[in-house]
Amino acid sequence: MTTKLHWRSWEASPPTIANNLLTYLRMNAKNSLIYLRMNIKGIILAAVLCSATSAFCQTESLGNRLFPAQAVSQWNAGLAGGISTNTIDIDVAYASDLRYASSNGFNAGATVAYHPTGWLSFNSGVLMVQKNWSLSRHNAQVTSVKTNATNNYIALPLAMEISMGRTFKVCGFFGGYVGYWLSGHREGKSLSVSYLVSGASDDMNYDEDYQFNTVRDNRFDAGLTYGVALRCDVARLLQISAELRWYYGLTDLQKNYMENLLPRYNTTRTISLGVSYWL
């Protein structure tokens, strides 16, 4: 309710005009205060809603930066390659003079990834991974026996990946893989027949392709794969990546063809660089 000031009031003397003006201002201030009190709950509610909306928008913006929405495409494919370092996990038991050591190799192949959302993806590929190792024997009688083994495997990993970031992403992944032992090569020194017969220290050098034994060798490979990666979109359709991955073998390198066998497992670490194209 607003009080109207009649126009004839202005025809009165100056003191009367001043009094009428003060009365007008007081009545309107009182009416405004009454209106404010009656609607204070609505004003507070509106302020709370505005604050909540602003906070939600800021949180959503932060969430989009950390876990962005779906990328340009759901699929990308590319090439990757780098180095591999393999270790044989074995309990040498009584053969304490045997020394297995890690050896380096390479890995290379094609990769593919499916992105149902911007922060979740599934990566796979077909990769050639070398799982090399070396073996030496040292004791009082034998010091020169040594084998350098080169082993070529084909690996098909499948892992779930979670990423943080939009253009530059920090990723972690975990999954499994299956593989197959394609070929091998052996180079080194072994004891000669003369040493086995007479004890003469005559070493025999060899450098040859590995001949698989269907009774002894287990060429099927399977296990876990996990690691971390950095991925960056350098253009709308291109992505480069740097990846550190482990292949943790769960299958023995040999079949159970005799008693008292010592299981041998591969554990392989790969460092690779890759480039992929958004399909």
The pTM score is 0.72
CA distances from 145 to 10, 190, 225, 273 (A): 122, 5, 34, 37
Residue labelled with tokens 């299981």: 263
Cα–Cα–Cα angle for 21, 24, 30, rounded to 5 degrees:
140
DSSP secondary structure letter of residue 214: T
Task: Give mean pLDDT, residues 138-144.
Answer: 62
Q: What is the pLDDT of residue 10?
A: 44
The least confident of 33-47, 162-176, 238-252, 263-277 is: 33-47
Cα–Cα distance for residue pair 253/220, rounded to 1 Å = 8
Write the Ramachandran bin of 64: left for phi over 0, alpha for psi from -120 to 50, otherwise beta: alpha
Cα–Cα distance for residue pair 187/210, rounded to 1 Å = 10
CB 210, CB 186: distance < 8 Å: yes
**Number of other CB atoms surrounding residue 163 within 10 Å:** 23
Whether the pLDDT of residue 13 is over 90: the answer is no
Closest listed residue to residue 255, CA positions, set 215, 221, 201: 215
* pLDDT band with cut points at 50, 70 and 90 for residue 251: very high
Cα–Cα distance for residue pair 240/232, rounded to 1 Å = 5
Domains of the chain by range and CATH? 7-65 (no CATH), 69-278 (2.40.160.20)
H or E element at residue 245: strand 238-249
Q: What is the pLDDT of residue 90?
A: 86
**Model pLDDT for residues 145-194, shown as the tens digit of each residue:** 789 999 999 999 999 999 999 889 999 999 999 999 999 999 998 766 55
Cβ neighbours for 39, distance < 8 A, ≥ 6 positions apart:
none
